[in-house]
Amino acid sequence: MGTHDSAPVDEEVEDTTVITASRVQDLPAGRRSSKSDLIIVLIAAAIFLGCAFSPPHLMDDVDAVQAQIARNMLQSGDWVTARLNGVAYLEKSPLNYWMIAASFAVFGVHDWAGRLPLAAMVVALCWVTLRFGSWAFGRDAGFYSGLVLSTCAGLFLFTRILIPDAILTLSITLAMWCFLRALEPGEGKTRWAMLLALFIGIGCLLKGLIAIVFPTGAALVYLAVTRQFFSRETWRRLRPFSGTIILLLVASPWIILATLRNPPFFDITLRSMPGQYHGFFWFYFMNEHVLRFLNLRYPRDYNTVPLPLFWLLHVVWLFPWSVYFPAVVRAGYKPVDRAGRTRLLALCWAGFVMAFFSFSTTQEYYSLPIYPALALLLGSTMTSQNKWIERGTKALGIVAALAAIVIAIVLWRVWVLPTPGDISAALVQHPELYTLSLGHMGDLTMPSFAYLRRALILAGIAVLMGAIGIARYSGKQRRCFFVMAGMMIVFFHAARLAMTTFDPYLSSKPLADALAKAPPGKLIEADAYYAFSSVFFYTNRQALLWNGRRDNLEYGSYAPGAPRVFIDDADFERLWQSADRYYLLTDHEDLPRIAELVGAASVHVVAESGGKYLLTNKTTT
């Protein structure tokens, strides 16, 4: 075995205050495994399924966009070409839309139904990580691997919106496990190689070619390091030709149909410019894969995280378990047994993905596919008697105590501050940061924390519980692990409470409710759809987009037969001053310009929420 393989997880079971997993060690092997599985599933479900229901409602931008595309597919019957506001939206793979649409078909069109597939897949990801770790290191390390992943900060943060990256992570994790099992002595059965190809194909339908690049790249690095690359037996076990056929059978039908329905077919120009339309194949493969990697994509509606920060932020994303990273460095990576081989593969897996993005544009969540690899490394180390485990636990206790003090100080400073309106009144907008996933964090001010008192209290209870628990169980690592997990569960629900407070700012649901109750009229949006996408989801309406021919809808707007939904200033002025009733969705920054363009007398406020307005050109009384 490696130098730090499994030690019993339940060295002490007498204390009934610890989570019921403390009794797992006393059970027979089969029951104990089932009990461990159930505990991880329940923990993950408490976090991810528990946060699937609104409020908070679907947010503007990508969150509501994904749900609305899925609804459009369900209603139109076109499961090949995604559309927004009638415009072809060609940049993403379809499986995430299909899963959400299937949920809508079963449960009805609700925001929670849209969130359900992602939440269920994240629970499955935590369970698969547990099973992978149990197979590689033993039940105890597997349990800890699942515990790390289900309660780390990054997985929670980056599953708050309906992006498919966590589901892609599940497909990659399954592919890497199948790869290792296909090579494992005594398990070299054809099914593992076939399943490897199947999961890569499924990943392609979630996120495109990256689902091939990541597992293939990590596997090739592993084969090179272990000197198996030129072994005939290796390729006999992996069956690359049969696997390629399976991958193509899974992924190519949609690609072929999307190409045929959105010509021209095979344009491969490397120039990405406004006003040009080259069909689906060019946009999906060249613009969204090649040119995005080279940072030459148009439109450039995204930003990039500085590379050093992209690497260092994993201390936050894997918190609180990142305190054990020093112990991971001392783990055994020699491929002399299953544990060593799995650690080495996890290292190749994480290293390849991080190296890939070191030469490309990056968002905070792009590295999510390495979280299971890091969880496996951490889980395998947490069963050892490594001194860095004890040091990490003590360090976390100090961090939790300091966090409790900081929260207490913030509460003291804002306790008597007034909270008029909603939280948007106390925020300072930084639009230049919004192309980053966590850009809105920069909007926070000290007065804004007055609106977050309940969330701060609950977060303070969580970290105080963590600090006290770690101090009480000092030297009893297993109990400390469960204290840490409990701390994060409570903290995540404090975060959900905070997001509910942010709801009027991040979502436009109140404007959607006001529009639904208002007299009939036509809708205009003063942006490129995304800024008010939750209105379109909750009302299931389309709109004219005023000066909105940009960003994600720009390319599709040049397609043959694209709907005429984009208007300029002259069109807006003409429509607003006509005899028909129009409604306008806009931000407060645009109000002076609107009044100057059409006259303040013709601008009537229907509703306001979070600094966003629903206006009309006719009185509603």
pLDDT at 31 over 80: no
Q: How confident is the model at residue 188 (pLDDT cuts 50, 70, 90)?
A: low
Does residue 88 contact residue 82 with C-beta atoms inside 8 Å?
yes
The Cα 182–Cα 236 span in angstroms is 10
CB atoms within 10 A of CB 359: 11
* Maximal CA-CA distance, the chain: 80
Does residue 154 contact residue 368 with C-beta atoms inside 8 Å?
yes
DSSP code for 185: T
Does residue 606 contact residue 518 with C-beta atoms inside 8 Å?
yes
Helix (H/G/I), strand (E/B), else coil: 337: coil
Q: How confident is the model at residue 440 (pLDDT cuts 50, 70, 90)?
A: low
Place of tokens 């610890």: 18
Q: The tokens of 409 are what?
A: 């100080």
The reported pLDDT for the residue numbered 14 is: 31
> What is the per-residue DSSP string for 462-488?
HHHHHHHHHHHTTT-HHHHHHHHHHHH
Tens-digit pLDDT profile for residues 114-138: 999 999 999 999 999 999 999 999 9
Cis check for the bond before 56: say yes or no (omega within 30 of 0). Answer: yes
The reported pLDDT for the residue numbered 271 is: 79
**What is the pTM (predicted TM-score) of this model?**
0.92
> What is the per-residue DSSP string for 503-530?
HHHH--HHHHHHHHHSPS-EEEESSSSG
Please compute Rg for the chain using Cα positions: 26
pLDDT at 363 over 70: yes
Q: The tokens of 287 are what?
A: 């613009």
Tens-digit pLDDT profile for residues 564-595: 999 999 999 999 999 999 999 999 999 999 99
Backbone angles phi, psi at 195, to 5 degrees: -65, -35
Percent of the chain with pLDDT over 70: 92
The Cα 214–Cα 223 span in angstroms is 14
Helix (H/G/I), strand (E/B), else coil: 265: coil
Tens-digit pLDDT profile for residues 44-67: 999 999 898 878 999 999 999 999
Tens-digit pLDDT profile for residues 467-498: 999 999 988 999 999 999 999 999 999 999 99
Q: How confident is the model at residue 166 (pLDDT cuts 50, 70, 90)?
A: very high
**Centroid of chain to Cα 264:** 33
Tens-digit pLDDT profile for residues 325-355: 999 998 999 999 999 999 999 999 999 999 9
Tens-digit pLDDT profile for residues 376-403: 999 999 998 889 999 999 999 999 999 9
The Cα 54–Cα 539 span in angstroms is 16
Domains of the chain by residue range: 20-50+90-382, 388-502, 509-616
CA-nearest of 307, 310, 380, 367 to 155 is 367
The reported pLDDT for the residue numbered 430 is: 66
Tens-digit pLDDT profile for residues 282-311: 999 998 988 888 888 887 777 788 899 999
Q: How confident is the model at residue 12 (pLDDT cuts 50, 70, 90)?
A: very low
Q: The tokens of 545 are what?
A: 């987009």
Q: The tokens of 556 are what?
A: 């599709």
**Rounded to 10 degrees, what is the CA torsion of 209, 211, 215, 216?**
-20
The Cα 458–Cα 490 span in angstroms is 7
> What is the per-residue DSSP string for 388-454?
HHHHHHHHHHHHHHHHHHHHHHHHHHHTT----S-GGGG----GGGTTSTTGGGGG--TGGGGGGHH
The Cα 203–Cα 250 span in angstroms is 10
The reported pLDDT for the residue numbered 303 is: 73
> What mean pLDDT, rounded, does the chain reach?
91
The reported pLDDT for the residue numbered 23 is: 41
